[in-house]
Amino acid sequence: MAQVRELAGQLVRCAVLADRRAGATWTQIGAALGISADAARSRFGRVRGSPTGTRARR
């Protein structure tokens, strides 16, 4: 079961990264995950491979 949780977490991180690269805002990502924009940015804002040099957008 732990492996399933880890894989699910990896999938979510990859989806967030792809959405950010496609221009999705933290508000949009947070809404899709059922959390606030601030919570999404806090949780995923430093995901490895995330776009650098870009300001967090709401």
pLDDT, block means (10 residues), the chain with 58 residues: 94 96 97 97 79 48
Question: Which domain does 24 fall in, by range?
Answer: 2-44
Predicted TM-score (pTM) of this structure: 0.74
CA angle 21, 39, 8 (to 5 degrees): 65
Q: How crowded is the C-beta side of 7, counted as CA atoms within 13 Å?
A: 4
Q: Confirm whether 15 is domain-assigned.
A: yes
What is residue 53's predicted lDDT score, i.e. its pLDDT?
A: 42
Question: In this structure, is residue 40 part of a structural domain?
Answer: yes
Q: What is the pLDDT of residue 48?
A: 60
Q: Is residue 35 part of a domain?
A: yes
Task: Tell whether 58 is covered by a domain.
Answer: no
The total number of structural domains in the chain stands at 1
